[in-house]
Chain A
């Protein structure tokens, strides 16, 4: 089972978390075309290499946070953002 580095709780079992997938910016609901809206709902790039994902620490601190995951190796790391105490990439 993956060990997911919650920026708040530290490494926790993936079963403590909810997976949110790749984040997608939300189009303006009043002007979005069906294509744009459904791209937001369903289409993900899923590129080979490092991608950014949303995770939710649903059994812990209940924080939503972003992680980077390598789609080939399964490695996880915190993105280099202010507020992530881990300091991002190692």
Chain B
């Protein structure tokens, strides 16, 4: 049986476009323009869900985004707001929170034992014993409302946008539209954000004149160049008008988060109609006046056949006209302005059948319309730091004193007829544009590189708008009976009285104890009634009880939209295409994708130690330093001395923060008189750059040093192994002499490699082998890499990855900052005592390092497990034998193919740091093994003969 009315003058459905869908498996038809609920109602069904706790049948109450009991499952998407979501052909819609079916719900038995399910029931009942919590959780989870999440649902595309509009108008009703139009005409860039699918607010279900006025305003907005976002919500306002806007109607993205920095925010959300509290107020067939007006005017739905209307305002009066026009019998009008009211709605389990009035009469009816007042959605004002004030004469809250860059218009600012609301909107738009103009001027003037500032700063415009009036309205919250206050959480006024009697009589406590206002409507419908009922229970006024603060988000936002697209770039070296084409296993190291290995890291180590290996070390941080004072800067940054570093030499150094903790380490070479190249750890490159700028800008602005990060400008390749000199000799030009006496360990040369000019090559030994590290202009990196492989074929050259690097450095006992040191490791912990130059006047962290040396600082030591085949995991604890006292930990561990045994680095207390100390290492499985502290950090070639060769 259809309840669709004949064509309505301003209906939003398109009857020429029928859409097929299913509701709980039943085939149905709606039209384009329908919401899911309007389509279900059109097919003669009116129960949309079962309530959260008592599983009572529920239908449409408000017929908008906040409709509390209309969450449904659509395909694999749970918790869809059916009174807002537009119907799409082929939708498979089903009810949530029902078992076995919407019609016969077994859990409705909860309703019979409802007196046990009062506020706090779960807290109290399932508190003890604590060991039963997992069992309780399993049972209670079955009772939790909500739809089913399909873990196989494909990831939708979500996105983010950054916008800098002059004016954002939140709300596209008559006032908001008018404000947007005038602001745009005054030259402001304007973004108009409307929560619902169409602009117009209450004009959409008004008279034909209203419809004409709306069409005119929309045309004005379009020609004025307003950016209109419908089905989008300003979900939050943060400092300096930073706004989060959820855009739900993006053509590609499932949902898009717009981060808008507005110069002025106009808050124009209109008003939300408040449900009335009385016995039976949650029966299907009880609706707000706004709901019936929407259903009839927009969707041509007959909401019932015999209506009782409780009206306290124009909206209720208009609903009477609308119902009559639609041919629905009005069996009784109760005018709340005269003091009359409704005390009870009663009926079958699924629909209102009779209404009891305050005069004692009982009327047969299947529709009860209530128009008992308005809630001002002050969320964006709360988020602007305003504390709205309750006005008892008009029974709603108004803004107190929002900041100058937040203006209100429309219902949240006052009452008026259509023309008054539009007029107020227009003056608000002009004021917003003028204030935005001043803000724009100040931004221009504050920017050094601004090319032009348009004249002197305009005078700051005062607010000279004529304010909207405030219509008197009776305070109507609860009748003489108890009913639902929070429809989504199943909290009744009786529950609130009970909670107040138990001592939860502050609104913040009451809310948390009962969960009133904490459901999907987030207080939009419930907050004022909750406060009013509490005021009644306390015998106080609503103003005395106060209200809760509305916090972001105003409306739910998809987690996908918050995640959005990931903007962090992935960094790769110029050789990455070769790595990918040659079987490398990639590893993500910070922002970098690097080859972890090419199949057999242990073999890569053996080949490098026996022949020659090459590895891509491009992520190594590189800073080009030029100027007469670079040596002073290096002396300040590193713990060792730099003033005498010869041109053509490189030196290793450790950097400390001012608290003495090791910040970074690396090699810096002097390429020319005033030209140095610094290398840092891969992860430390950005931080060291900042650190250098800090010293140059704040402590020593007199030093002349220019810093350029060249990490990605240079491709870096380490050539290591006994055959590395022979391999290099096949590539270098005449400008680089590789003779061991001409190019010694810890020296640097610049010149031509594989025909590429301006390369830097230095002899260092992270791997412990004779090795050359070359830095090539990155456009030629791949060429040099391939040339090395081609020329080295007869020398047994093979690439090695990050894992082989790590094994070889561990065999050599080189610590890694951040791996073998941590946020508490001061410089002495590294064991590099010889690099701590206290006769140098100043260096970062010097006093702390001096004091640390006097104390019991932990030591990095080389450790070998007694059983050579056991490799303890990194972070395994080192214990004092026979106790649980932790005296250290393993910081690095690998199996060494060179030594055919496990090798480690670790941090231990001084007592356990001496050579040949036996350590007790607790493995992850709890087993304890013994290990020995070695004399040198280097497990292999401690004298370093190989790398000096």
Residues 547-596 (chain B) with a chain A CB within 8 angstroms: none
Q: In the complex, what residues of B have CB within 8 A of residue A81's CB?
A: none
- Out of A18, A54, A86, name the residue touching B446 (CB < 8 Å): A86
Contacts A30-B842, A37-B847, A41-B658; is A64 near B698 (CB within 8 Å)?
A: yes
- Out of B240, B698, B851, name the residue touching A2 (CB < 8 Å): B240
Whether A3 lies near B694 (C-beta < 8 A) is no
Contacts A37-B848, A62-B693; is A5 near B446 (CB within 8 Å)?
A: yes
21 contacts between A and B (CB under 8 A): A1-B238, A1-B240, A2-B240, A3-B240, A5-B446, A8-B449, A10-B443, A10-B447, A10-B450, A11-B443, A13-B261, A18-B690, A26-B658, A26-B699, A29-B847, A40-B658, A58-B690, A64-B694, A64-B697, A64-B698, A86-B446
Q: In the complex, what residues of A have CB within 8 A of residue B694's CB?
A: 56, 64
Q: In the complex, what residues of B have CB within 8 A of residue A43's CB?
A: none
Whether B847 lies near A32 (C-beta < 8 A) is yes
Encode B294-307 as 1/0 by CB contact (under 8 A) with A: 00000000000000
Whether B842 lies near A29 (C-beta < 8 A) is yes
Contacts A26-B699, A64-B694; is A1 near B239 (CB within 8 Å)?
A: yes
Whether A74 lies near B239 (C-beta < 8 A) is yes
Q: Shortest distance in angstroms between A49's beta carbon and chain B's nearest beta carbon?
A: 18
Asked if B242 is an interface residue, CB under 8 A from chain A, the answer is yes
Whether A8 lies near B448 (C-beta < 8 A) is yes
Asked if A82 is an interface residue, CB under 8 A from chain B, the answer is no
* Identity of the chain A residue whose Cβ is nearest the Cβ of B447 in the assembled complex: A10
Whether B239 lies near A2 (C-beta < 8 A) is yes
* Identity of the chain A residue whose Cβ is nearest the Cβ of B701 in the assembled complex: A64
Q: In the complex, what residues of A have CB within 8 A of residue B690's CB?
A: 18, 56, 58
How far, in whole Å, are A73 and B537 apart by their CA atoms in the complex?
37
Q: In the complex, what residues of B have CB within 8 A of residue A1's CB?
A: 238-240, 242
Whether A34 lies near B851 (C-beta < 8 A) is yes
Given contacts A10-B446, A78-B446, A86-B445, 20 further A-B contacts (CB under 8 A): A2-B239, A2-B240, A3-B242, A8-B449, A9-B447, A10-B447, A10-B448, A11-B446, A13-B261, A26-B658, A29-B842, A29-B846, A29-B847, A34-B851, A41-B659, A63-B697, A64-B693, A64-B694, A74-B239, A86-B446
Asked if B841 is an interface residue, CB under 8 A from chain A, the answer is yes
Asked if A85 is an interface residue, CB under 8 A from chain B, the answer is yes
How far, in whole Å, are A1 and B244 apart by their CA atoms in the complex?
10
Asked if A7 is an interface residue, CB under 8 A from chain B, the answer is yes
Q: In the complex, what residues of A have CB within 8 A of residue B446's CB?
A: 5, 7, 10-11, 78, 85-86
Q: Shortest distance in angstroms between B703's beta carbon and chain A's nearest beta carbon?
A: 14
Residues 409-443 (chain B) with a chain A CB within 8 angstroms: 443
Q: In the complex, what residues of B have CB within 8 A of residue A78's CB?
A: 446
Whether A54 lies near B698 (C-beta < 8 A) is yes
Q: In the complex, what residues of B have CB within 8 A of residue A23's CB?
A: 698
Q: Shortest distance in angstroms between A9's beta carbon and chain B's nearest beta carbon?
A: 6
Q: In the complex, what residues of A have CB within 8 A of residue B851's CB?
A: 34
* Identity of the chain B residue whose Cβ is nearest the Cβ of A31 in the assembled complex: B847
How far, in whole Å, are A32 and B847 apart by their CA atoms in the complex?
8
Encode A50-90 as 1/0 by CB contact (under 8 A) with B: 00001010100011100000000010001000000110000
Q: In the complex, what residues of A have CB within 8 A of residue B697's CB?
A: 63-64
Residues 682-704 (chain B) with a chain A CB within 8 angstroms: 690, 693-694, 697-699
Q: In the complex, what residues of B have CB within 8 A of residue A74's CB?
A: 239
Q: In the complex, what residues of A have CB within 8 A of residue B698's CB?
A: 23, 54, 64
Q: Shortest distance in angstroms between B635's beta carbon and chain A's nearest beta carbon?
A: 13
Q: Shortest distance in angstroms between A73's beta carbon and chain B's nearest beta carbon?
A: 9
Q: Shortest distance in angstroms between A13's beta carbon and chain B's nearest beta carbon?
A: 7
Encode B140-173 as 1/0 by CB contact (under 8 A) with A: 0000000000000000000000000000000000
Q: In the complex, what residues of A have CB within 8 A of residue B658's CB?
A: 26, 40-41
Residues 11-26 (chain A) with a chain B CB within 8 angstroms: 11, 13, 18, 23, 26
Q: Shortest distance in angstroms between B784's beta carbon and chain A's nearest beta carbon?
A: 31
Q: In the complex, what residues of B have CB within 8 A of residue A37's CB?
A: 847-848
- Out of B261, B659, B693, B843, name the residue touching A3 (CB < 8 Å): B261
How far, in whole Å, are A9 and B841 apart by their CA atoms in the complex?
37
Residues 297-333 (chain B) with a chain A CB within 8 angstroms: none
Q: Shortest distance in angstroms between A65's beta carbon and chain B's nearest beta carbon?
A: 9
Q: Shortest distance in angstroms between A38's beta carbon and chain B's nearest beta carbon?
A: 9
Q: Which 6 A-B pairs have the closest CB atoms?
A: A10-B447, A3-B240, A64-B697, A1-B242, A29-B846, A86-B446
